[in-house]
Structure formats: structure tokens, C-alpha cells
Amino acid sequence: QFLTDMMDTTTDVGRGLLSIYKKFDRIQISGYLQPQFQVASKKGAESFNGGNFAPQSNNRFSLRRGRLRFDYVRLNDHDQPSVHLVFQVDGTERGLFVRDFWGRYFENKWQLFSFTAGLFARPFGYEVNLGSPDRESPERGRMSQLLMRTERDLGVMASFEPRRKNHPLRYFKLDIGAFNGQGLSGPGEYDSYKDIIGRLSLKPYPVTERLSVSAGVSLLQGGFIQNTKYVYTTSNNNGKKEFVVDSSEDNLYSEAPREYRGVDMQWKLKHAWGATELRGEYWWGTQTATANDTETPGLLLTTPYYIRKFNGAFFYFLQNIVNKKHQLGVKYDWYDPNTEVKGKEIGAAGNNITAANIRYDTWSFGYNYYIDEHLKLMLWYDIVKNESTSLPAYLSNKSTNVFTCRLQFRF
Amino acid sequence: QFLTDMMDTTTDVGRGLLSIYKKFDRIQISGYLQPQFQVASKKGAESFNGGNFAPQSNNRFSLRRGRLRFDYVRLNDHDQPSVHLVFQVDGTERGLFVRDFWGRYFENKWQLFSFTAGLFARPFGYEVNLGSPDRESPERGRMSQLLMRTERDLGVMASFEPRRKNHPLRYFKLDIGAFNGQGLSGPGEYDSYKDIIGRLSLKPYPVTERLSVSAGVSLLQGGFIQNTKYVYTTSNNNGKKEFVVDSSEDNLYSEAPREYRGVDMQWKLKHAWGATELRGEYWWGTQTATANDTETPGLLLTTPYYIRKFNGAFFYFLQNIVNKKHQLGVKYDWYDPNTEVKGKEIGAAGNNITAANIRYDTWSFGYNYYIDEHLKLMLWYDIVKNESTSLPAYLSNKSTNVFTCRLQFRF
Amino acid sequence: QFLTDMMDTTTDVGRGLLSIYKKFDRIQISGYLQPQFQVASKKGAESFNGGNFAPQSNNRFSLRRGRLRFDYVRLNDHDQPSVHLVFQVDGTERGLFVRDFWGRYFENKWQLFSFTAGLFARPFGYEVNLGSPDRESPERGRMSQLLMRTERDLGVMASFEPRRKNHPLRYFKLDIGAFNGQGLSGPGEYDSYKDIIGRLSLKPYPVTERLSVSAGVSLLQGGFIQNTKYVYTTSNNNGKKEFVVDSSEDNLYSEAPREYRGVDMQWKLKHAWGATELRGEYWWGTQTATANDTETPGLLLTTPYYIRKFNGAFFYFLQNIVNKKHQLGVKYDWYDPNTEVKGKEIGAAGNNITAANIRYDTWSFGYNYYIDEHLKLMLWYDIVKNESTSLPAYLSNKSTNVFTCRLQFRF
């Protein structure tokens, strides 16, 4: 009870194993490590695959992720889960960071609902919620990295997910929660507006014995405070696209929109070699950020606000070859941060449309070798393309391709 | 032995369980999580309940504490504790921090003494040493947060605490130690002066079968280096209170006083509903800090030093209702950072008496619901009052009330 | 699989212990704590024994190291190690830092090779690779702290080390790896040059029943980018030593040398009191750094580059007295950062030879008391000497002696 008290040591050797059982049966320790070597097609490459390269570097060793995770599950007298706690820490050469620190309470009367509170992944989209040790490509797409960096946020969530094996809705899951908004991209809540995030999903459903499908629809309805009265939106002025300011006094302290929509679907076909998978996910909505960036702000801004309509998508094609140990993958994603402007309209004289409005398309080609359950080798090559614009720095494709050789150790 | 050596794996399956027993019987992993939602009565509220609100925020989700703790206890051949090691880490959206990292050695000849070294809670007061997962109110009082932020300090401590069940002094405990002083409010020792801290306590003593009492007296005798020759104290100049400077050359590098005294007492009455508890704690002494703050400095100061006499107290009334799962609580604490000035004397023309000298009184009303041994819901409302002063910003009560809804997961 | 999934809890009580066995037999949790008290011979002492003292401090409590370590070893069907994962974190009052985060894969066909990737100690020298809880003196030598701060770097390594008990080369071990170079002294790779590091060692070989010897040769062949064209080397101009600049345009972006060589040998004689040990290690080579520092840069420099030839050494004499619990030690180390200049040549008019070129010799005398397997007391006194130079601040020995009283708790 007191900070410097001694832990209870009345356990004698005879009761030892039982005590061990009680102490540790409910605790699970797991983790994974992702050391990798990367080569970029030029020095100082901007990259969403492990972050930008240093100005004088085109190759690097890094520890992309180093995770240590503690799970605790308490079962009730009927061996039903009652409380689940998770502590996950990320440690790399860049420092130690909190990832998942959350608790969940299960109601066991209907075995339908659970309630989660703390720091956990936003229930939006498919790829965002697929854990990094299981994802077949090295990184999540550019769009989700900008809109929801590090995926997690602080909040509470109610979940509907039948736990009885024969429940008629057992293939469905509904999550709905309220969150601060800025997640881990800032040190804490900076306004009073909250984000409502929800996802309704169909869990893998066996269409035939070999073919299964899953799907989901997601919604984020939120926003954050406008700390200046200057709010820009894209306007079409007799065919000339430009950002136009609204500087009404009412803008100050009102809510800037952050509204995302998403649909996703996953097909999986099992066969002699293993499986073939096809996944698609499409997001669209409205994002508020700044003139030069479309990343969700982590801090209260002191510069004018820019509201843009965006869309983007992620697609995966995965194919085992020979057996389940070998897998080829193709991933395609795009992110168009401003769907109202394109190509040469960006950077045209005096229209205030910066490089933040450029659409990027990324093709990734990879091979994964599952050496054993604890070790995986990933070889992936990313080809990134930006739109050709009127901006001097982006008259043509200036993007950098990156090759990644990653080992993943896991336990 | 070497940094990249492999751990010993000669254990075969047959000896496995015994090996597990040996490895893990002495290790205990525990932790707790405190996600909470708070609403303040105005934006940007200053608060000692989880820190100030951001300037544009009056409500927030946060992870108040997220602790993971590892205990190791080594028993000797007579099953007596010999060494106890604790590692406790705090992880929240604000980062990862070390809390308790200490080791303790027990002498087993008389079973009376133990010696502790490392980073651990100062042996001063009752509330300071009551762990956060067990404390009935969300936070410690304002006074202890200012005088001893994060409670811990680096040092060594000798403890007298009889471990034989029939020892005549078995209800007494004495801790006395030497510490750096600044604790975790700075990165390390910045002077050569140490703090001596001690506490003599009566452990819960059964007055009757249903009524128990505990109590303690505490002392902190320390100080830190004066890095300028300018030292201010409160003076009474013909009835006019003011801070007066002493700028004698001798002040430079001499020791500024930090002297605290404390008495505390706790009553607990068990009854059919559970228990009724009454606790009181009163501290007084001398604190050195700056013109605008009374918090113990974490770094070497470059501004003049201000010495003030202070007092303060914490009181708890706790009452189970219906059964042990439901508990009502009232907490009252005050902190008067400068007992020599009060009310309109603060901020009167030219007297140099700043807002740091204002007395605050806090009333907190709460309800705790102990859902099960792993989960607790806390609903508390804090009403904070400051003195009415002559300072334009504090002519009347300007303090902010805060409502806290906290879940505590624990394992 | 998904970030907020629940962990598998299908385990029932009957299968509990087996499940515990499977979960925890392969995991080992260990750690150590080093609280210490130090006194320096003057305030603000510069020290390589736990870092410089604060300007107004000549004594301090600190937590020198606080380590928590998780090992995971996976055995294959023949009980041979297959994968080994290590996560080690350092936590002190200065914060939490990653130390070892690496994974190793063992080939089991020949039982000769293993491959390591991640963040781990550079395979160079003997003292660098001897873990801190086992080292008999409080700190590593000044030279290795400057050349390879925190010992670790990001990279990959192949190792040859026979695991069959009767292999003819079973006393030999060869490590060779490629590394970023800056290690943990910077946040990540800042150029494209890598370091190649290797070490061939003879493991403790029994010369007689009581006498054993081990030895090693080490090589680091690396460098980093020159970010300016100004490169200084030591020159002998008619007997006058000075740093002379080469400002050829070709210098820009070429590789500055970082080339170390090392030889080491350890003798151990067992006798009735315990053991007598003698260890020696000598390093030499070429280091590039700046005018005022010879520490390996952790970031891209913007100042001129200085290339120096250096040498240095570490020697230990360790002697148990009475029994294995008591040990006396003498350690001597020197570091000469620039072997081409000495004494009064340093700081002579206009020669640009700064205090960074001064040779330091350190003698340490200590007593270690191994109280039990979990607790050790270390009392050590360091006498540091610098060369007498022409620099006003170093006309004679200005170095500070430090006394260290350390407890080491370990589990």
C-alpha cells in the first residue's frame, strides 16, 4: 500500500507453484523488434517509410520498432474475461515512447459489450488497426500517417461484439468512441472539442470453404479549435483555382472540421500454396491543417487554417508461392490532400496553393520470407510518384524510391 | 557476463517448472492505469488536479498515471527477506518516467533494521507515502505537490521496524535518511547540501476490536545553496508587511533553509457497511524559493531567494455506504505559503508580495465505486478558493473548480 | 493481430501450469541498480566517473545505472537455441533510455555461426564488452567513453563461435559487423558511410589447472562524412608542432577516417583466497573530431574537422583477500588523444593545439565487497592527472580526484 512497502513474501516453497500460476497465468509478456537497412535513391530523401533520410545520408541502419508489451487478463468465476489491461512501450535509438496503455471492461451478462479507456488505436479503417508485426508491408500508407500519426488517441470506446459462438450477429462488430483528437502528435488536449470515431465491421465470413470476406465502414466526425480568424478554402474563380480567406470574427474559437469516411473490404482465398489475398480501402473527407502541411496539428496553431477535401486509398495483393513461408506482395496507395486542385494548378501564380496540396501515388513490391514463427525477412521496394505541378521544385516527379531490408524478431 | 552473451539455456524441459519457479517466484509484476475525463469551470484553468488545462481547453481525456512495476525479493535460507528491489516506470501521453528504482537490504540477526538506497519516496508525512492506486482522492494536496513534487528523491535511508510478531516495539517504525534534495524536479544534484528526513510512526494500533489508530511525526531538515547574495524575508515595518532584502556577501553560497515539520493521525472504525475513516495531517516550517513561486527549485537559481514560513494541512473523511463497494469522501486541504502575510496585505503597493504568497483552500467531494479488485470508478469534484488580495488578478476568488471522472485499472 | 484485440485466454486452469511453462520458460527477467554517493576534490569537477559534477556541487547521490532486461530464447526441437531476443532499458533520474535491443539467429546445421541485428555493443576490445554489473571498477576508461560512448551501435554482425563441446576451434570466437557509426551519441545515421568492426578472441584457455588466459585483437575501420572542406592535421614545421589546414574542395563530402586497433590479454590465477587477475588492453589509431573535442561526433558537424593519431590503454590488477567476498583492485588507464604533440607544445602560441589534445592518466584504487549474489559494495578512489601544458588553464595538473561509494543490487 505504501510506496516503500515490501511485497508480500509469505509464500512458502510448497505453495510456490500455485502462486506462480496465479501470478503469471494472467500476465503475458510479448514483443517484437524490427532492425532494418534501407537505401534511398538520393541523399536526404523525404520518406514515409521510416521517416526522412538525413541530408547527407542515402542509406541507414535503424531499429524501426522495438516493442515490449504486457497483457493482463482477469477471468471471472466462469472463465470469462472480465478485465483486460495492456501496456506497450516502443523503444528504439530515437527513445522510449508509450504506445498502448489501455484497460477494457467486459460485461458478462449478455456477453455482447465491452468498454475501453486510455490510450489506444482509433477504431477507423483496416490498415490502421492491423498491428505492425502482422502487416505484410513495412509501413502504413502515407494518408494514414498524416491524418492519424501513431494511430492512437486518448479516449473511451464502447464496443459491441458477441462473444457467444452461436450469436446471430457473431460476424459483426461495432466500435464507437470519443477521443481528444490530437493523439500522440502532441503532448495533450489543447482544446475542448472531441472527435467521435466509429467503425462497423464484418469479421472474416466464410463465403465458401476456401474463400472468406471481411469489410468495414468507418467514420470520424470531429474537429479542433480555430485559434485565428483566418480560414482558407479552395475556390474556383472563373476557372482559376485559389485559396481564398474567410476572416470573419466568428471564425475565432469555432470548430475547424475534421471529418473522415472510410470503406474497406478484404478477400482471402486459401489454396495449396497458402493463400491469395486482396484488400482495398478508400477514405475521403475534410481535413483542416496549415498552408504548408496537411498533417493533423498536434499543438494549438498560431497560423491561418486551411480546410481541404481529400481522398486516398490503400490496396494490397498478397500471394504465397510454393508454400506459406514465401509471400509476394504488391501494395498501391495514393493520397490526394486536396481533391479540388490538380497538376499545374498547384503553384500557379498567386494562387497560394503550396506543395502540401500535391497528390502522391506509391507502388510497393515486396517479398516476405517467414523463416519461423519468430523470425521474418522482408524485402520491399517503394516507388513514389508526385504530380507534376507549376511549383519550381515539383515540375516533374521528384520523389525518392526506397529499398528496405527488414528482419522482424517476435516473441 | 558480456553484453551480447546468450542467456543460459541449459535448462531442459524436465527441470523446466522448477526453473520457472526459481526465476519467477521472486519476481512480481504489477501495474495500474488511470484514464480520466475532466471538466474545469473555465478554459486554461490552473489546477493541481492533473496539471493546468491548456489555454483553450476546459475538458480533456488524459492518462493520469500508467504504472508498470517489477519487484524482486530474495529470501534467505530461513525464508526471511534479504534483498528487495523495485523498478517502477510511469508511462502516459506525456512520456515515460522513472518513479521508484530502489534496493533494500534487510539485516536478519535482530530482524529490526533495513537499509534502502536509490530513488524512493521521502519518509515524510502520511499522504505523501500513500500510493496513488490506494489513495481515495484523485491527487495529493497542493502543499505536498509544491514542496515535494513526485515525492521521490535520491538518497539512502535506515529503517527500524521490528519484524518479529511479538516484539514489544512492533507497532513502531522509524525511518531516517539523507537525500539530494531536489528529487525528480531537476535532472540531478546541483549543490553539496543534503536533506535529512525522518519519520517516526505508530502503525495501525487496535484500540478496540473495531477501532484502530495510527499516527506519525515527520521532520525534514535541509536546504540548498544560495547562488546570489540577495535573500528576501518577510518583514513587519510599522505594521506594513513587505519583503526586505539582505544582500550581505556572506549569503553567497551559504545554505538557504528548507525545514519542514509534520504531524499526522488516522482513525478507522469498522462497521457493518464497511468502515469510517478520519485522517488529519498538519505541516509547518520554512521554505526557500523565488519571488513568484514557492515550489522547491529543481535547478540552481539565478534569481533572488525568498524565505517564507508556511503551513498547511490535509483532512480526509471517508465513509462506506451500504457495503464496502461504495464509498463517499470529503477532503479538505489548505496551503498557506507565507503565514506572515494575509489577504489585502498581498500585493499592496510596493511591498513585493506576489501571488506566490496567496493561501489556497480546497474542498473535494467524491464517490468511489470499487467494481472489483481490479477496477475502480472515482467521481470527485474539487472546489478551490484563494484569498482575496490587493493584486488586481486576485481581488476575489479566481480559482477554478474541477470535476474528475477516473477509472482505475489495476493488476 | 489487431491493435486492440484481446489476448488469447482459452487456457483453462488444468492446462495452466503447462501454459505458464511455455510462456515463461523462454523469458528471463533480470536487472540491476547502482545507487552511489560520490565526493569530488572540488566543486564542478569534470569527471568520467558518472559525468561532470554540477558547478556548485562536490558531492552527490545518483543512480548511476538502473537496468531492466528481458531475454527471450527459442529452442528448436533438439533443444538448441534458435532465436535470442534482448530488450534492455536504462532508467535513472536522468530519464529512460534504450540500451540493448537486438535479435540473434543461430544456424544449427554446423552449430558454428550466428547473426545479430539491432542495437548492440560494438565487438571491439575487452572492457567495452564486459557488462557493467560484472566490471570490478565503477566505470569504463576515459578513452572508450570518448571513442565509443554507451558502447552500442545500430548494425548487423556475423559471429563464428563453435557450440559443439569438442570442436577443435572451440576456444576461438570471431565477430564481424557493419554499423552506422555514431551509435547512441546521436539520434540516427547522418551520413552514408558505415563502420566495419571485428574482433577475434581466444576465450579463457586453461594453461594449467589454476591458470587461464584469454586474449583478443580488434579492428574498427570506418569514418564519417566531412561536411566542410576544412580538415586539420598535426604538422611538424621545423620542430614547431601545429595544426595545419587542408582546404581542398575534394575534402567536402569525402570520408574522414575513424580507424581503431586494439589488442588485449587477461590472466587469471585461482588460489585459496579466490583469484588474482591481470588484464591489459592497448588501443591505437586515428580519430576525427573537432578542434575542442575528440569525442566521436553524434551529429553532422558544421565546424572544421581535426584528424588525430591517438593511443591509450586500460590495465587491471585484481586480488581476492581472505576469501572470494573481498577484492582489492588497481586500475590504470591513459588516453593520449594526439600522440604527435605533448606537454608544453599544447597551447604554444598560435599553434591551434587545444585542451582536447591533452593526455590524461588515471589511477584507481578500490575495494569490492560481494555481500551476496545480489548485493555488492564498491569503494573506489580515482586519481586523475593531466599533462602540464602551455595552456593557461592547464599549466599543471588540474584534474579532480573522485571517491565513489556504490551499492549494486542485482537480480
Domain ranges of chain C: 27-410
Q: What chain C residue is nearest to A92 in terms of C-alpha separation? A: C98
Q: What single-letter DSSP state applies at residue B112?
A: -
**Residue of A287, A281, A120 lying closest to A201 (CA atoms):** A281
Residue B18 has pLDDT above 60, yes or no: no
pLDDT at C350: 85
Contact check, Cβ <8 Å, C100/B16:
no
**Identity of the amino acid at B236:** N
Three-class DSSP category at C79: coil
Q: Which residues contact C259 (CB under 8 A, 6 or more apart)?
A: C220, C221, C222, C223, C285, C286
- Name which of A220-224, B3-7, B83-87, C342-346 the model is least confident about: B3-7
Chain C residues whose CB is inside 8 A of the A277 CB are: none
Q: Which triple of cell numbers denotes residue B375?
A: 477496477
Q: What chain A residue is nearest to C1 in terms of C-alpha separation? A: A131
What is the dotted CATH code of the domain comprising A35-64+166-410?
A: 2.40.160
pLDDT at C131: 92
- Name which of A212-216, A323-327, B163-167, C231-235 the model is least confident about: B163-167
Which residue among C21, C56, C91 places its CB closest to the CB of B300? C56
Q: Which triple of cell numbers denotes residue A194?
A: 472531441
pLDDT tens digit string along A348-357? Answer: 988 999 999 9
CB C119 within 8 A of CB C102: yes
Contact check, Cβ <8 Å, A1/B130:
yes
pLDDT tier at C21, thresholds 50, 70, 90: low
Contact check, Cβ <8 Å, C54/B191:
yes
Widest pairwise Cα distance in chain A: 87
pLDDT at B8: 41
Average pLDDT score over residue span A140-151: 95
Tell me how close the Cα of C90 comes to any Cα of chain A, in angstroms: 10
Chain A residues whose CB is inside 8 A of the B75 CB are: 9
Tell me how close the Cα of A96 comes to any Cα of chain B, in angstroms: 7
Q: Which residues contact A108 (CB under 8 A, 6 or more apart)?
A: A76, A78, A80, A82
Chain A residues whose CB is inside 8 A of the B374 CB are: 74, 82-83, 85
Q: Which residues contact A14 (CB under 8 A, 6 or more apart)?
A: none
Q: Which residue do the cell numbers 539467429 mark?
A: C105
**B59 DSSP β-pair partners:** B39
What is the overall mean pLDDT for chain A?
A: 93
Tell me how close the Cα of B124 comes to any Cα of chain C, in angstroms: 19
CB A226 within 8 A of CB A256: yes
**Test mutation, A7, A88, A225, chain B, max B CBs within 10 A:** A7
**Residue of A134, B312, A47, A179 lying closest to C3 (CA atoms):** A134
pLDDT at C330: 98
pLDDT at C5: 54
pLDDT at B9: 38
Any long-range contacts for A230-236 (C-beta under 8 Å, 24+ apart)? A230/A304, A230/A305, A231/A256, A231/A304, A231/A305, A231/A306, A231/A307, A232/A291, A232/A304, A232/A305, A232/A306, A232/A307, A232/A352, A233/A306, A233/A307, A233/A308, A234/A308, A234/A309, A234/A338, A234/A340, A234/A341, A234/A353, A236/A340
Tell me how close the Cα of C65 comes to any Cα of chain A, in angstroms: 16
Contact check, Cβ <8 Å, A189/B62:
yes
pLDDT at C374: 93
Dihedral, A180, A184, A190, A192 alpha carbons, nearest 10: 0
pLDDT tens digit string along A289-328? Answer: 999 999 999 999 999 999 999 999 999 999 999 999 999 9
Dihedral, C181, C186, C191, C197 alpha carbons, nearest 10: 0
Contact check, Cβ <8 Å, B91/A101:
yes
pLDDT at A346: 96
Chain C residues whose CB is inside 8 A of the B188 CB are: 54, 60, 62, 93-94
Chain B residues whose CB is inside 8 A of the A256 CB are: none
**Residue of A133, A122, A120 lying closest to A68 (CA atoms):** A133
Tell me how close the Cα of C277 comes to any Cα of chain A, in angstroms: 36
pLDDT at C15: 46
Tell me how close the Cα of B37 comes to any Cα of chain A, in angstroms: 8
pLDDT at B14: 37
Task: Count Cβ atoms below 10 Å from residue A55 Cβ, excluding itself.
Answer: 12
Chain C residues whose CB is inside 8 A of the B97 CB are: 95-96
CB C273 within 8 A of CB C320: yes
Chain B residues whose CB is inside 8 A of the A83 CB are: 372, 374-375, 409, 411
**Residue of A292, A284, A291, A228 lying closest to A256 (CA atoms):** A228
Q: What single-letter DSSP state applies at residue B181?
A: S
pLDDT tens digit string along C237-294? Answer: 888 999 999 999 999 999 999 999 999 999 999 999 999 999 999 999 999 999 999 9
Residue A12 has pLDDT above 90, yes or no: no
Question: How far apart (Å, rounded) are the C-alpha atoms in residues B182 and B184?
Answer: 6
What is the overall mean pLDDT for chain B?
A: 93
pLDDT tier at C13, thresholds 50, 70, 90: very low
Which residue among B83, B103, B190 places its CB closest to the CB of C57? B190
pLDDT tens digit string along C315-352? Answer: 999 999 999 999 999 999 999 999 999 999 999 988 99
Burial bucket for residue C52 (CB in 10 Å: 0-12, 13-18, 19+): middle
Chain B residues whose CB is inside 8 A of the A9 CB are: 73, 75, 79, 81
pLDDT tier at C27, thresholds 50, 70, 90: confident
Q: Which residues contact B10 (CB under 8 A, 6 or more apart)?
A: none
Q: Which triple of cell numbers denotes residue A100?
A: 498502448
ipTM: 0.92
pLDDT tens digit string along A100-123? Answer: 999 999 999 999 999 999 999 999
CB A4 within 8 A of CB B120: yes
Contact check, Cβ <8 Å, B411/A85:
yes
Name the strand (E) or helix (H) holding A191. none
**A219 DSSP β-pair partners:** A198, A261
pLDDT tier at A7, thresholds 50, 70, 90: very low
pLDDT at C25: 64
Q: Which residues contact B195 (CB under 8 A, 6 or more apart)?
A: B153, B155, B178, B179, B180, B181, B220, B221, B222, B223, B258
Contact check, Cβ <8 Å, A96/C101:
no
Q: Which triple of cell numbers denotes residue B277?
A: 475513516
C-alpha of B75 from chain center:
30
Q: Count CA within 13 A, CB hemisphere, residue A145.
A: 14
Question: How far apart (Å, rounded) are the C-alpha atoms in residues C158 and C176?
Answer: 6
Contact check, Cβ <8 Å, C63/B101:
yes
Residue A4 has pLDDT above 60, yes or no: no
pLDDT at A28: 87
pLDDT tier at A15, thresholds 50, 70, 90: very low
**Test mutation, C19, C61, C90, chain B, max B CBs within 10 A:** C61
pLDDT tier at B126, thresholds 50, 70, 90: very high
Question: How far apart (Å, rounded) are the C-alpha atoms in residues C223 and C230?
Answer: 16
Q: What chain C residue is nearest to B252 in terms of C-alpha separation? A: C56
CA angle C150, C151, C154 (to 5 degrees): 100
CB pairs below 8 Å between A and C: how many? 161
Question: How far apart (Å, rounded) are the C-alpha atoms in residues A128 and C138?
Answer: 47
Residue B15 has pLDDT above 60, yes or no: no
pLDDT at C288: 98
Tell me how close the Cα of B60 comes to any Cα of chain C, in angstroms: 22
Question: How far apart (Å, rounded) are the C-alpha atoms in residues B380 and B366?
Answer: 4
Task: Count Cβ atoms below 10 Å from residue C229 Cβ, excluding itself.
Answer: 17
Chain A neighbours (≥3 Cβ pairs under 8 A) are B, C
pLDDT tier at C74, thresholds 50, 70, 90: confident
Residue C16 has pLDDT above 80, yes or no: no
Which residue among A3, A154, A192 places its CB closest to the CB of B59? A192
Taking CA atoms, B297 is separated from B128, B149, B307, in Å, by 19, 10, 12
Task: Count Cβ atoms below 10 Å from residue A267 Cβ, excluding itself.
Answer: 16
pLDDT tens digit string along B324-359? Answer: 999 999 999 999 999 999 999 999 988 999 999 999
Tell me how close the Cα of C231 comes to any Cα of chain B, in angstroms: 36
Which residue among C97, C155, C190 places its CB closest to the CB of A54? C190
Taking CA atoms, A134 is separated from A378, B70, B92, in Å, by 12, 29, 25
- The fraction of chain C above a pLDDT of 70, given in percent, is 94
pLDDT at C77: 83
CA angle B209, B214, B215 (to 5 degrees): 155
Contact check, Cβ <8 Å, C180/A134:
no
CB pairs below 8 Å between B and C: how many? 163
**Identity of the amino acid at C91:** G
Tell me how close the Cα of C6 comes to any Cα of chain B, in angstroms: 16
Task: Count Cβ atoms below 10 Å from residue A395 Cβ, excluding itself.
Answer: 12
Chain B neighbours (≥3 Cβ pairs under 8 A) are A, C
Please provide residue A23's backbone torsions phi and psi, each rounded to the nearest 5 degrees: -70, -45
Which residue among C20, C63, C121 places its CB closest to the CB of B3? C121
Q: Which fold has domain B27-410?
A: Porin (2.40.160)
CB A218 within 8 A of CB A123: yes
Contact check, Cβ <8 Å, C24/B27:
no
Any long-range contacts for B377-382 (C-beta under 8 Å, 24+ apart)? B377/B405, B377/B406, B377/B407, B377/B408, B378/B138, B378/B404, B378/B405, B378/B406, B378/B407, B378/B408, B379/B403, B379/B404, B379/B405, B379/B406, B380/B137, B380/B138, B380/B329, B380/B404, B380/B406, B382/B49
pLDDT tier at A58, thresholds 50, 70, 90: very high
**Residue of C307, A55, A102 lying closest to B62 (CA atoms):** A102
- Name which of A12-16, B218-222, C54-58 the model is least confident about: A12-16
Q: What is the CA radius of gyration of chain C?
A: 24
Chain A residues whose CB is inside 8 A of the C184 CB are: 93
Which residue among C73, C94, C407 places its CB closest to the CB of B7? C73
Count of residues in chain C: 411
Select the more confidently predicted residue: C14 or A330.
Answer: A330
Contact check, Cβ <8 Å, B26/C58:
no
Chain B residues whose CB is inside 8 A of the A300 CB are: 54-56
pLDDT tier at A406, thresholds 50, 70, 90: very high
Name the strand (E) or helix (H) holding A18. helix A16-24
Residue A8 has pLDDT above 80, yes or no: no
